[in-house]
Amino acid sequence: MGTLDAMPAAGPDDLLLDRQLCFALYAASRAVVRAYGPLLDEHGLTYPQYVALLALWGEPARVWTVGELGDAVQMDGGTLTPLLKRLERDGWVARRRDVDDERRVLVEVTPAGWDLRDRVVGVPRQLAGRLGLTLQEGIALKRALEGVVAALES
């Protein structure tokens, strides 16, 4: 693997859009979110709602604070709070103040939210089928993207 020092000098071609890794990642992210749209629409979910529910469903015994959930799904409170209000309105989560610390809001999945999980269980495989990757290629891509995130957040 080469280093930046071993690369030729920077030039104007480095600024061509089709050479940008950042744009390829951006376009891929948008395409994946769009592909989830029809799969989630039939269940009344948006992609960000689905991501929040995935985190909640992933630890069934846990009661999350809004802050912990925001950290897990990489959403700030200004984005997450209205999203959780909609999930609560639809009956999939319940929010309540922490009795030990009134500043904290706790979130947990309702029985209807667990039923929803059972209805959307096939969504990840449906999307994976649309990507046209083998299982090994999908795993390798996920690891590479996790490496990108880790490198940029370190």
pLDDT at 32: 95
pLDDT at 4: 64
Q: How many domains does the structure of the chain reveal?
A: 1
Structural domain including 23 reads: 19-128
Domain-embedded: residue 5 = no
DSSP class of 94: E
Domain-embedded: residue 106 = yes
* 111: amino acid identity, one letter: P
Domain-embedded: residue 31 = yes
10-residue mean pLDDT profile of the chain (154 residues): values are 72 91 95 96 97 97 95 95 98 95 94 98 92 90 95 93
pLDDT at 2: 58
Report how far residue 66's alpha carbon sits from residue 57's, in angstroms, rounded to the nearest whole number.
15
Domain-embedded: residue 117 = yes
Domain-embedded: residue 2 = no
Long-range contacts from 112-117, C-beta under 8 angstroms, 24+ separation: 113/53, 113/56, 113/57, 113/87, 114/57, 116/43, 116/45, 116/53, 116/92, 117/53, 117/57
Domain-embedded: residue 42 = yes
| CATH number of the structural domain spanning residue 48 | 1.10.10.10
Report how far residue 62's alpha carbon sits from residue 109's, in angstroms, rounded to the nearest whole number.
9
Strands (E), 19-99: 64-65, 93-97
Domain-embedded: residue 33 = yes
Domain-embedded: residue 101 = yes
